[in-house]
C-alpha cells in the first residue's frame, strides 16, 4: 500500500497531492475500523491469547508463577498431582503459537513438594523452585534446573546448610549463566531471618551465600529475588526498619557477594510488606509493597529505585486503586515498561477477580490496565506477572471459567505499540521524493504553510486511528 500511494503522488500537483492523500488516508482508516484493526496494530495492553493445560485438574494453580524470555514462557502449577498430592509441576509454552512444549516434573518429586512455586527462565535454562522438598530436612526445599528446548532436568540445587522449614526455592532468578535461589526460612540471623544462594545452574555448584549485614529474626530475607547481569535484588518483606513488617530490599553484587545497597521506601510504615516482590532491568529496580495504604487499607503500591545510587525515583499507584487490591503483589520490568499485579482488585464488580497495570517508567505514566480474558470471582488475576520483548504474561491461579476450579490460566498481552500498516504507508509517503522537490525559493515559502497544515491533518488522522484501535480492543485494557 505504501508503494502504491507514494508512486501515485509523485505525478500530481502539490495541492492535489494533499487532497488525494488525505482522502486515501481517511479511506484506509475507515476500512481498518470496519474490518477490525487489531490484526494490524498491537496497542498497549492488547490481549493476544490464553494459555491453559489440556488436562488441567481442580486446584492445580497453573499460573501461580510465570516467567518469559525469548518467546517462551515457563509456568508453575505447584499443586499438580502427577507425583502425588500437591507435588507440583511446571510447563513451557511457545508464546507466539500458544503451543505447550513441555511439562516439567522433578525427577524425585513427591507429595507436598510445591514444585513450581517459583519459576525463572533465561535463554535455554529454566529454574523451578520446590520450597517444601525434604531435601536434607523437613521442608528444607530445593530448586531444579531444566533445559528449555528439551525439557530435560540438568541439576538439582540444594543449599550447603539446609534447615527444617528453610523454604529454599520460594524464589528463583537466573541471568548471565548464574542462578539465585531464596530461602526465606533460613536461620542465618535467627528464626526465619532468611538467606539467598548463588549457583552455577548447570553443574549445581553453590558459589556463595548472601546475607545482609543487619539481618534479624523473621525478616524473611529471600522471599523474593530478581537478577540482571551481575546485580541481584532480594526482598525482605518482614524487615522492621520502619515498623513491624514494613519491609526492605537489598542489592548485592552477584560475582563478589558484596552488599551494595539497602532499599526502603521514603514513606514506609508498619505492615506494608515492602519487598514482597522485586524486579530489576538495566539498573532500574521495582519493589512491590502490596499492603501500602495510600488508596485505602492494603491497596498497595510499587516503588522505583536507581540500583546504582539506591535513590528512590518514583512511587507507583494505580489511578483507580482501592482498599484491599494488593497492588504490588507481583512486579516485572523490561525496557522501562513495568507490569504490576493487583490480584485482589474487584475488576468489573467481580470480587477479587484481579487485574494488572502497565507503566512507562521513563514518564512515570500508567499506560493501561489488564484484565483476565474470562474474569471470575476470586480469580486472582495478577498473582504473577512477567514481561519481556514487548510481551506480558499474567497468571490467574484460581481461574475456573473454563476448567475446574483453581486449575488456573495465563493470559498473554502486547505491552508495546507496533507500527500499523497505515502508519507505515503514511511515513513512506511523507518520505516520498515528491514532497522534497521544489523549483524555487518562492514556491518553497508558499508551500511551507501548506505542508504544516498537511502534517497537522496527518498527525490528527494517525492519532485518531491509533486511539480507535485501542478503543476497539475488547479485551485486556481499560
In a domain, 123, yes or no: yes
- Tell me whether strands 224-228 and 231-236 are parallel, antiparallel or unpaired: antiparallel
For residue 301, the model assigns a pLDDT of 98
For residue 250, the model assigns a pLDDT of 98
The CA distance from 240 to 82, in Å, is 40
Q: Which of 322, 310, 333, 347 is nearest to 415 (CA)?
A: 333
- What are the beta bridge partners of residue 300? 327
For residue 398, the model assigns a pLDDT of 76
In a domain, 72, yes or no: yes
16 class by beta-carbon count within 10 Å (0-12 exposed, 13-18 middle, 19+ buried): exposed
The torsion of the CA quartet 209, 212, 214, 216, rounded to 10 degrees, works out to: -50
Taking the whole predicted model, whether its pTM rises above 0.95 is answered as no
Do 279 and 144 fall into the same domain? yes
Do 341 and 432 fall into the same domain? no
The CA distance from 426 to 88, in Å, is 52
Instruction: Compute CA distances 357 → 7, 327, 387, 393, 477, whole Å.
Output: 43, 9, 12, 12, 9
- pLDDT at 423 > cutoff 80: no
- pLDDT at 238 > cutoff 70: yes
Q: Classify each residue of 255-293 as buried b or exposed e, where b means 16 or more C-beta atoms within 10 Å of its C-beta.
A: eeeebebbbbbeebbebbbbbbbbbbbeebbbbbbbbbe
pLDDT-derived band at 18, boundaries 50, 70, 90:
low
Please give the residue range of the domain that contains residue 431.
2-41+420-472
pLDDT > 70 fraction of the chain, expressed in percent and rounded: 75
For residue 20, the model assigns a pLDDT of 55
The CA distance from 375 to 218, in Å, is 36
For residue 322, the model assigns a pLDDT of 95
Do 409 and 425 fall into the same domain? no
- pLDDT at 21 > cutoff 60: no
Question: pLDDT tens-digit profile of 252-276?
Answer: 999 999 999 999 999 999 999 999 9
Please provide residue 459's backbone torsions phi and psi, each rounded to the nearest 5 degrees. Answer: -60, -40
- More confident: 228 or 465: 228
Do 13 and 86 fall into the same domain? no
In a domain, 276, yes or no: yes
In a domain, 407, yes or no: yes
Mean pLDDT (the chain) is 82
DSSP H or E stretch at residue 251 = strand 248-253
Do 16 and 111 fall into the same domain? no
In a domain, 368, yes or no: yes
Q: Average pLDDT for residues 9-22, to the nearest whole number?
A: 52
Question: pLDDT tens-digit profile of 311-343?
Answer: 999 999 999 999 999 999 999 999 999 999 999
Question: pLDDT tens-digit profile of 75-112?
Answer: 999 999 999 999 999 999 999 999 999 999 999 999 99
322 class by beta-carbon count within 10 Å (0-12 exposed, 13-18 middle, 19+ buried): middle
- pLDDT at 160 > cutoff 90: yes
- Highest average pLDDT, of 2-11, 307-316, 412-421, comes from 307-316
- pLDDT at 445 > cutoff 70: no
- pLDDT at 436 > cutoff 50: no
Do 14 and 61 fall into the same domain? no
In a domain, 478, yes or no: no
Do 110 and 153 fall into the same domain? yes
Question: pLDDT tens-digit profile of 36-86?
Answer: 433 333 456 799 999 998 775 667 899 999 999 999 999 999 999 999 999
Last residue in a domain, options 414, 435, 456: 414
Do 71 and 214 fall into the same domain? yes
- pLDDT at 119 > cutoff 60: yes
Q: How many helices (H) and strands (E) does the chain have?
A: 4, 28
Question: pLDDT tens-digit profile of 367-389?
Answer: 999 999 887 787 889 999 999 99
DSSP H or E stretch at residue 26 = helix 14-35
In a domain, 169, yes or no: yes
448 class by beta-carbon count within 10 Å (0-12 exposed, 13-18 middle, 19+ buried): exposed
Please provide residue 275's backbone torsions phi and psi, each rounded to the nearest 5 degrees. Answer: 105, 0
Do 285 and 300 fall into the same domain? yes
pLDDT > 90 fraction of the chain, expressed in percent and rounded: 68
Amino acid at each position: 500500500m505504501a508503494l502504491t500511494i507514494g508512486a501515485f503522488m509523485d505525478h500530481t500537483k502539490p495541492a492535489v497531492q494533499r487532497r488525494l492523500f488525505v482522502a486515501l488516508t481517511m479511506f484506509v482508516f475507515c476500512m481498518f475500523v470496519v474490518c477490525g484493526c487489531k490484526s494490524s496494530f498491537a496497542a498497549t495492553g492488547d490481549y493476544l491469547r490464553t494459555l491453559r493445560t489440556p488436562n488441567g485438574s481442580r486446584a492445580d494453580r497453573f499460573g501461580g508463577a510465570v516467567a518469559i524470555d525469548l518467546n517462551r514462557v515457563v509456568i508453575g502449577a505447584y499443586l499438580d498431582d502427577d507425583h502425588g498430592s500437591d507435588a507440583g509441576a511446571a510447563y513451557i509454552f511457545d508464546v507466539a503459537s500458544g503451543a505447550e512444549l513441555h511439562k516439567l516434573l522433578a525427577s524425585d518429586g513427591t507429595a507436598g513438594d510445591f514444585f513450581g512455586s517459583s519459576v525463572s527462565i533465561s535463554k535455554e535454562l529454566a529454574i523451578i523452585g520446590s520450597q517444601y522438598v525434604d531435601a536434607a530436612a523437613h521442608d528444607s526445599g530445593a530448586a531444579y534446573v531444566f533445559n528449555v528446548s528439551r525439557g530435560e532436568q540438568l541439576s538439582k540445587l540444594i543449599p550447603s546448610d539446609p534447615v527444617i522449614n528453610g523454604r529454599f526455592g520460594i524464589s528463583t532468578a537466573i541471568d548471565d549463566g548464574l542462578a539465585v535461589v531464596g530461602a526465606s526460612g533460613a536461620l542465618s540471623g535467627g528464626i526465619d531471618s532468611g538467606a539467598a544462594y548463588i549457583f552455577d545452574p548447570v553443574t549445581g555448584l553453590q558459589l556463595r551465600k548472601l546475607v545482609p549485614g543487619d539481618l534479624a529474626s523473621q525478616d524473611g530475607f529471600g522471599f523474593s529475588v530478581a537478577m540482571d547481569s551481575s546485580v541481584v535484588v532480594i526482598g525482605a518483606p518482614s524487615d522492621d526498619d520502619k515498623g513491624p513488617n514494613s519491609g526492605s530490599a537489598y542489592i548485592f553484587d552477584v560475582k563478589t557477594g558484596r552488599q551494595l545497597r539497602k532499599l526502603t521506601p521514603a514513606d514506609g510504615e508498619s505492615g506494608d510488606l515492602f519487598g514482597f516482590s522485586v524486579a530489576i532491568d538495566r539498573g532500574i529496580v521495582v519493589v512491590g509493597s502490596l499492603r501500602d495504604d495510600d488508596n485505602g487499607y492494603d491497596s498497595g503500591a510499587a516503588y522505583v529505585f536507581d540500583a546504582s545510587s539506591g535513590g528512590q525515583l518514583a512511587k507507583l499507584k494505580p489511578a483507580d486503586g482501592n482498599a484491599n487490591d494488593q497492588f504490588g503483589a507481583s512486579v516485572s520490568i523490561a525496557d522501562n515498561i513495568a507490569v504490576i499485579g493487583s490480584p485482589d482488585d474487584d475488576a468489573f464488580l467481580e470480587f477479587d477477580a484481579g487485574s494488572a497495570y502497565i507503566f512507562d517508567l521513563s514518564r512515570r505514566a500508567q499506560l493501561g490496565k489488564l484484565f483476565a480474558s474470562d474474569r471470575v470471582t476470586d480469580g486472582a488475576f495478577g498473582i504473577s506477572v512477567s514481561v519481556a520483548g514487548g510481551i506480558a504474561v499474567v497468571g490467574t491461579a484460581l481461574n475456573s471459567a473454563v476448567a475446574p476450579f483453581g486449575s488456573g490460566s495465563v493470559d498473554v498481552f502486547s505491552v508495546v505499540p507496533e507500527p500499523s500498516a497505515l502508519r507505515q504507508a503514511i511515513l513512506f509517503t511523507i518520505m516520498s521524493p515528491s514532497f522534497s522537490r521544489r523549483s524555487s525559493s518562492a514556491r518553497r515559502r508558499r508551500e511551507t504553510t501548506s505542508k504544516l497544515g498537511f502534517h497537522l491533518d496527518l498527525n490528527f488522522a494517525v492519532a485518531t486511528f491509533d486511539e480507535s484501535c485501542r478503543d476497539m480492543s475488547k479485551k485486556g485494557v481499560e
